């Protein structure tokens, strides 16, 4: 069936009701319905509920005819039949108009019309039949309400639906409830709502524009994407330089449905991705990215090491050793590091330098990531990002409490295990970092600038 043929209104009358053996009308209806049911069901995409409508056949033993009017309710059709089928009240018959649906002539919808004009019942019935019924068991049945199905917006009737309706012209879309081609309206979503990733990693979000039936728009609907970072998130406070570098989103714009790749910097913190669609009925959509090293906890207090020192900016108060206004929490570490640090300090206190405690400097920030000592979002504190390295005071140019004396460096280095390696870090006169490891244990012995133990935990 071509599209042109589908465009006119098709009134489909069910054939199986037509049990009356009178009149050519019924046979005509049966034939028409049979033809319409042959339609291909391959393309059911544009489908909507058929409109239920009613027509009336009135008749008697002599003949029957179809009322030209189409009705929108069973009751209205019945009223029309009743109006049409007036039998003079002087006739000595009881007239009953009723509804039925099944082989026992039981009434279905509302049994509205009945009249008994005389004192006795002689048995002339005029039934209004329901289309789904077989009426052969009911005698004298000439009046029917036929229930029909119409496809006002194209397509052909099949099983309560209008199928193979011609596609709506963009940018309109089929309203699945009414069948009408409505103007498309769009909704934007951004998924997932949040994600947690490690610094310097990427994550893929998806922006999707859907039209009101949940499908894709029939035209490209533009969406733009941007990202912002919470300037104090991830444990960076104080007087950092501004603006804070933020992660990237790619692409910055697209249409309908497309992936958005977020790329984190090496700094931990909270980013907000915002997708905006001017043609959508809803506002901008956001997704939150938590850039962090998960699982870090603050190093707990211990009798074998010292975590706090006097805060020069707040008389009478203490702060974590190495903490600054830029990084108020610098003592976060992995479970392994916390456990191994305890054992290292215990050995130092008991065997290496009896009664003396280690002084714990930088570990990691609350969420790990880049620890930018200078508050400028840049190295050099290139380690200390994963919670697996902890600095410990050692003999240095600026004397401080609790330093590991130079004479004990080798003994501390000898505490190396498979899970813990004490390195010594120091700086040359030109600022170059020197690392004294197992292979070159004395590399920092003549260099006391910024010298400290940098212990790696695995
Ligand atoms: Zn910082
Ligand atoms: Zn270090």
pTM above the 0.75 mark? Answer: no
Give the distance (Å) from ligand 1 centre to CA of residue 273.
22
Give the distance (Å) from ligand 2 centre to CA of residue 356.
21
CATH tag for 186-291 (out of 2.40.50.100, 3.30.420.40, 2.60.40.10, 3.40.50.970): 2.60.40.10
Supply the pLDDT for residue 145. Answer: 66
CB 190 within 8 A of CB 207: yes
Q: Where are the domains of the chain?
A: 3-163, 186-291, 297-457
The C-alpha atoms of residue 181 and residue 217 are separated, in whole angstroms, by: 14
3-state secondary structure of 265: coil
CB 288 within 8 A of CB 272: yes
Q: Which tokens hold the place of 421? A: 């390696």
Give the distance (Å) from ligand 2 centre to CA of residue 392.
8
Give the distance (Å) from ligand 2 centre to CA of residue 169.
66
Burial of 172 (0-12, 13-18, 19+ CB in 10 A): middle
Give the distance (Å) from ligand 2 centre to CA of residue 391.
5
Supply the pLDDT for residue 46. Answer: 81
Kindly identify the ligand whose nearest atom is closest to the C-alpha of 426.
2
Give the distance (Å) from ligand 1 centre to CA of residue 236.
4
CB 84 within 8 A of CB 106: no
Kindly identify the ligand whose nearest atom is closest to the C-alpha of 241.
1
The rounded average pLDDT for each run of 10 residues, N- to C-terminus, in the chain (458 residues) is: 34 33 34 38 66 74 77 75 58 39 40 35 36 37 65 86 89 90 96 97 98 92 98 93 96 98 97 98 98 97 97 94 95 98 98 98 96 88 90 95 96 96 96 93 94 96
Cis preceding-peptide flag for 446 (omega within 30 of 0): no
Cis preceding-peptide flag for 26 (omega within 30 of 0): no
Give the distance (Å) from ligand 2 centre to CA of residue 374.
15
Closest CA to 39 of 161, 131, 153, 133: 161
Q: Running DSSP on this structure, what letter comes out for residue 269?
A: E
- β-strand 358-359 against 305-306: which pairing, if any? parallel
Give the distance (Å) from ligand 1 centre to CA of residue 237.
7
The C-alpha atoms of residue 20 and residue 384 are separated, in whole angstroms, by: 91
Give me Rg for the CA atoms of the chain. 43
Kindly identify the ligand whose nearest atom is closest to the C-alpha of 268.
1
Give the distance (Å) from ligand 1 centre to CA of residue 269.
10
Give the distance (Å) from ligand 2 centre to CA of residue 317.
25
């Amino acid at each position: 069936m071509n599209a042109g043929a589908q465009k006119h209104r098709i009134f489909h009358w069910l054939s199986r009701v037509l049990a009356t053996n009178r009149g050519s009308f019924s046979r005509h209806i049966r034939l028409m319905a049979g033809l319409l049911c042959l339609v291909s069901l391959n393309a059911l995409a544009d489908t909507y509920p058929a409109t239920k409508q009613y027509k009336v056949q009135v008749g008697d033993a002599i003949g029957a005819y179809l009322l030209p009017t189409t009705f929108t309710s069973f009751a209205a059709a019945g009223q029309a039949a009743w109006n049409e089928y007036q039998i003079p009240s002087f006739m000595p018959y009881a007239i009953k108009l009723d509804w039925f649906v099944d082989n026992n002539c039981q009434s279905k919808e509302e049994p509205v019309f009945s009249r008994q004009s005389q004192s006795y019942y002689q048995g002339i019935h005029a039934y209004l039949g329901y289309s789904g019924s077989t009426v052969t068991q009911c005698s004298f049945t000439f009046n029917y309400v036929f229930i029909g199905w119409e496809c006002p917006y194209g397509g052909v009737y099949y099983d309560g639906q209008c199928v193979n309706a011609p596609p709506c012209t963009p940018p309109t879309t089929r309203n699945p409830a009414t069948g009408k081609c409505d103007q498309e309206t769009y909704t934007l979503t951004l998924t997932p709502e949040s994600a947690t990733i490690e610094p310097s990693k990427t994550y893929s979000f998806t922006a999707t524009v859907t039209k009101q039936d949940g499908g894709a728009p029939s035209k490209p609907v533009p969406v733009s994407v941007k990202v912002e970072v919470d300037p104090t998130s991830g444990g960076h406070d104080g007087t950092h330089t501004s603006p804070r570098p933020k992660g990237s989103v790619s692409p910055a714009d697209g249409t309908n449905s497309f992936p958005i790749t977020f790329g984190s910097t090496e700094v931990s913190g909270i980013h907000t991705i915002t997708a905006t669609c001017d043609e959508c009925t809803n506002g901008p959509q956001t997704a939150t990215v938590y850039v962090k090293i998960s699982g870090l906890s603050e190093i707990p207090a211990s009798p074998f090491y010292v975590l706090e020192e006097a805060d020069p900016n707040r008389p009478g108060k203490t702060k974590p050793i190495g903490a600054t206004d830029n990084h108020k929490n610098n003592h976060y570490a992995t479970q392994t590091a916390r456990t191994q640090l305890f054992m290292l300090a215990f050995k130092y206190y008991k065997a290496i330098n009896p009664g003396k405690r280690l002084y714990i400097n930088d570990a990691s920030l609350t969420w790990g990531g880049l620890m930018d000592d200078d508050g400028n979002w840049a190295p050099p504190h290139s380690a200390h990002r994963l919670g697996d390295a902890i600095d410990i005071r050692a003999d240095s140019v600026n004397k401080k409490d609790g330093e590991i004396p130079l004479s004990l460096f080798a003994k501390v280095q000898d505490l190396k295990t498979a899970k813990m390696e004490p390195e010594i870090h120091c700086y040359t006169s030109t600022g170059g970092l020197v690392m004294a490891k197992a292979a070159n244990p004395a590399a920092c012995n003549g260099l006391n600038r910024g010298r400290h133990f940098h212990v790696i935990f695995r």
